[in-house]
Homo-oligomer: A and B are copies of this chain.
Amino acid sequence: MKLKSIMVAGIVDDIRRIFQVLTEQSRKIEHKTNLTGPQLWVIKILKEKSPMKVSDLARRMYLHPATMVGLLDRLEAKGLLKRTRSENDRRVVFIDLTVQGCELEINSPEVVQNLLVSGLENLTGQELKNISGGMEQVVAILGAKDIPPQLIMSAEINAPKRRRKIG
Contact = CB atoms under 8 A, between A and B. Distances in A.
Nearest to A12: B116
Interface residues on A, range: 35 or more
A15 to B, nearest CB: 7
Nearest to A128: B7
A23 B38 CA distance: 11
Given A10-B132, A137-B131, A142 B18 contact: yes
A61 interface: yes
Interface stretch (A81-89, A95-103, A117-125): A117-125
Given A10-B132, A19-B22, A131-B138, 8 more contacts: A4-B128, A11-B120, A22-B142, A31-B161, A116-B138, A116-B141, A119-B142, A131-B137
Interface of A: 3-5, 7-8, 10-12, 14-23, 27-28, 31, 34, 36-37, 41, 44, 48, 61-62, 74, 77-78, 109, 112-113, 115-117, 119-121, 123, 125, 127-146, 161-162, 164-167
